[in-house]
Structure 1
Amino acid sequence: MARRVRPGTAGTALVIAMATLAAACAAPGADNPQPQASSTDTAPMSAPPTCGSDPITMTGYFETGFPLPRELTAEFTKQYPNVTWDIREDQFAVITQNAPRVLADNPPDLMRLPQVSELVKDNLLKNLDGYAQAFGWDKWPASQLEQLRLGPGGRPRGEGSLYALGLNFSMTGVFYNKKLAAQVGMTTPPATLAELDDVLEKAKNAGITPIVQFNGGATGGLAFPLQNLMASYGPPGPINDWIFQKPGATIDTPSNLKAVQHLEKWIKAGYFQKDVNAVDYATMMSRFIDGQGLFMFNGDWESGNLDKQMAGNVGFHLMPPAEPGGKLAAMSAPLTFGIAANAKNADCAAFFLDWVATDQRAREIGVEVGGSRPMGPADAYMPEVASDTVTAGTLAAGADIAEDNGAMDFIANATGSIYAKSWTPGLQKLVAGQQTAEELLKTVQADYAGQVEGN
């Protein structure tokens, strides 16, 4: 699929021209005194809280292998030297399992969050409505915050109070190795799913692994190409309804069945590496960087890394539609962080989240390291990005998704355990030939219904 080109994106650099934020966060002090507020969850604040001037040690629980949060915290300490960080890191699968216990027993000030409905139901996350009013987050584009809003008791998602914020707005799609693409005659990204199938077959016949993917452990990565295929075959609305636990929503639909059957066809055709069920995320990344596969389904959070590791040799495109001219859709969601309900330094954590979205240098780090569009006001500063980088491609693709209103939350976020207990084992069984496409969707839907009813 040829990426849409908008006026002003051609040339030596991709420039997303937006006005620099007029009121960037200034360090508290004599030049810009700001009162230290003691906030409650939803009570109005007389002024936005800050981190004050006394020494503070912020505690964080972050996902290992992703440099963006650490880069941001390091820059924050440069600008606010009274704030230091004590950070613990774990794999996302471990965070998913540990989140309720960690938030209850040893609440961090700031935490990378898995699915949030159960955490809200159990009163483990701080309601951020008071901060949203004080900092003006409610004036940001509503779509940025929709996935982070929850109703009473954690349901439904998509409306109600704000319980988290994103360090950026991430998106999944298809990365490809340009040198390997040239070897199989791929000069432009596929415009339809049939064209993608054709390229995959050519790669297989040329002795090139068509898709390098991970599917090992408790959080399998075949959910990425599966959701991309769901985006090819059907609209994003019903999938979001299911993820947001809207009444009557189901994942077992005719279009989603076509998507799983298409994934099953790829598996049987040998388009994934033979040991895909034993490959973890880090191994997938290492193999792709080493040139061991043509395509990789992954998120734009790797754009900055790939621009460094494979400079000039990586392209990115959104999953093409099943039919020519179809609308574009992709998993696009905030890199979600929340504040523990009993966090010691909640005000400073909220100030940090606002700084990430509004400070010029923080937004540059978000693009350079995170490879994604930062959250924040619609007219916030955006840095220039060289047009020949994969980061430029992912940023432009994000604009295309916004234009087509094609953003979906991740299917793994529907309930707290649906990823580890349903999607991952089901997809591993699909690879092993132990479950059919029809059985996968029916099993996941039954698990989902039980988990939702149990809450």
Structure 2
Amino acid sequence: MSTFIRAPRAVVLAAAAAVTLLALAGCAPGSSNASQGQSGSVSTALTTKKVTLKIQDETGFPVTSNLAAEFTKQHPNVKFKIVRDSFQNLLANSPRLMASADAPDLIRLSTLGSTVKDGLVTNLDPYFKAYGWDKFSAGQLASARMTTAGVRGEGSLWQFGLGYSVTGIYMNQKLADKVGITSVPATIDELEADLQKAKTAGVLPVQTGMQDGVGTFVLQALINQYGDKAKLIDWMFNKPGATFDTPASLKGATKFQDWATKGYLPTDVNAINYTTMVANFTAGQGLFMWDGNWDAANVQKALGKGGAQFFLMPPTTKGGKYVAMGAGNTFAIPSKSKNHDTTAYFLNWIATNSKARQIVVDITGASPGGDPAQKLPTVEKGSLIETALAMSASVGKDDGFTDFIANTTSGIYQGALQPDEQLLLTDKITPDAFTKAIQAFYEKDLAG
């Protein structure tokens, strides 16, 4: 069985830190416009008072717990209270949580939406200057920027990433051997041939789910290969005139529906959520699973070292450039936080402290970000995390990173992608109607 080709570890890590962060088009540091939130003088000195920081995070991503524990170990006067909810619930409830009198100090915020316009998030420009975040790659922070006109990728800084992800495909090694797959697919045609091999052998080709929209990983991975990623990024960044209703989206949606029709997806796909998808895959139900590096440690723990491979979505032609979803695990400091400076200190510590950076790599399998010149964490040789970092380097080299379409507007994930993909996979809507419905919701969401 051939494996994903890896560069030497030192080269992989150096490349991952240096080029993974060029995920999106580079931008100059944000301007000082849009001054909602804490945009005056700030302090980079950690308080000596006893403080409890409240973090609102999503279920299934424990890295904040590990980081909080280490921070308290180093700074006993700062403790943490971490509250978790599902991604979809957090996405829907974030504006209300940030507007409340008991707003968290730090919140997982996958998309800015109207939070900047509504004054709910803290302008991080003063901290960018005070902490010297200009040493970070501009591309690392690009998706966390937004102008007063609501265009992402430029303007002031509103979010901060805790690790920078890459999304690909996990393959169950035991099932691959069973169906006669001897190498990871190099093109989409080869991938489809493997799907059919699995189906013929009585093995579920793809483990995924649409109850909470996680199947969007599969859809976007297809769309990414069929068109110009720059046009998709413009749409995700809310550039005027950008549209989802493109030949690439239509082709991706058509292929996704075709896979469902051929029985490559679970028969109860619309009843499977993210947690169940991962549990099913690690229990041996499914040859392939589209997911991110954040599950590398979980998959390896469940299936054993060598029990799974992790590879990038193949291009349409052999040797073509890689395109993959990847972004920072973005958090924001609500304007109503009572501990702006302490929370910003914590964020800066995550990107600069050697133990914190190691935790990010060990728990998430992601590049820790920060200054590319800083000493890099170590990883287990031959692990899925090492593979994920190599994948990041490959995508970065090809300038192939895109954000996640679920992050495009505050309401699009639950309001359009999730329900309309459910209809798509059950033949209740055509691919053409699907792409037009997504664009119509997008325009309505932005106008609101």
Both proteins in one fold, TM over 0.5: yes
Q: 1:138-149 alignment to 2 at 5 Å?
A: 138-149=134-145
In the alignment, the residues of structure 2 paired with residue 280 and residue 315 of structure 1 have an alpha-carbon distance, to the nearest angstrom, of: 22
Q: TM-score, normalised by structure 2?
A: 0.92
Q: CA deviation at 1:185?
A: 2.0
1:194 aligns with 2:189: yes
Q: Deviations over 1:318-357 (max 9, x none)?
A: 1001122221111111001010112001111101111111
C-alpha contact (below 8 Å) 2:327/2:402 kept by paired residues:
yes
Structure 1 residue 78 corresponds to structure 2 residue 73: yes
Q: What pairs with 1:359-374 in structure 2 (closer than 5 Å)?
A: 359-374=353-368
SS of residue in 2 equivalent to 1:396: helix
Paired letter, 2:46 = C
C-alpha offsets along residues 106-165 of structure 1, whole Å, 9 cap, x if unaligned? 211011113213111110000000001111112210110000000015x10000000010
Contact 1:14–1:392 (8 Å) recurs in 2: no
AA in 1 matched with 2:271: A
How far off its partner does 1:14 sit?
7.7
Corresponding residue number in structure 1 for 2:13:
16
Aligned AA (1:133): K
Corresponding residue for 1:274?
267
Question: Alpha carbons of 1:183 and 1:116: their partners in 2 closer, same or farther (altered >3 Å)?
Answer: same
Distance 2:393 2:418 in 1: 30
Task: Look up the match of 2:286.
Answer: 293
Cross-structure match for 1:342: 336
Instruction: Report how far residue 432 of structure 1 moved.
Output: 1.6
Where does residue 418 of structure 1 map in the other structure? 412
- Measure, in 2, the Cα distance between the counterparts of 1:292 and 1:3: 22
| Aligned residue among 169, 173, 190 for 1:174 | 169
Matches within 5 A, 1:45-194: 45=42, 49-105=44-100, 106-153=102-149, 155-194=150-189
- 3-state SS in 1 of match to 2:152: coil
What secondary structure, in the 3-state scheme, does the structure 2 residue paired with 1:386 have?
coil
* Cα deviation digits, residues 40-79 of structure 1 (max 9, x gap): 833455xx52332211011111111211111111111111
In the aligned structure 1, how far is the partner of 2:13 from the partner of 2:410? Answer: 36
Q: CA RMSD in A?
A: 1.7
373-382 or 190-199, larger mean C-alpha shift: 373-382
**Could you say what secondary structure the match of 2:331 adopts?**
strand
Letter in 2 for 1:392: E
Which residue number in structure 2 is paired with residue 206 of structure 1?
A: 201
Contact map agreement 2:235 2:242 (CA 8 A) in 1? yes
CA distance in 2, matches of 1:76, 1:198: 49
CA distance in 1, matches of 2:230, 2:120: 29
| Inter-CA distance 44–133: structure 2 relative to 1 (3 Å threshold) | farther
**Kept after mapping to 1: 8 A contact 2:208/2:290:** yes
Detail structure 1 runs of 4+ shifted over 6 Å in the superposition.
none
Q: How does 1:271-420 map to 2 (within 5 A)?
A: 271-312=264-305, 313-420=307-414
Query: Equivalent residue of 2:326, what SS?
Result: strand
Kindly state the Cα deviation for residue 84 of structure 1 after the two structures are TM-superposed.
Answer: 0.6
TM-score normalized by the length of structure 1: 0.90
Identity in percent: 41
- State the AA in 1 paired with 2:92: Q
Measured against aligned partners, the alpha-carbon deviations of 1:14-33 in whole angstroms (never above 9, x if no partner) come to 86259x9xxxxxxxxxxxxx
CA distance in 2, matches of 1:63, 1:14: 33
* CA shift for structure 1 position 5: 4.2
Q: CA separation in 1, counterparts of 2:381 and 2:181?
A: 20
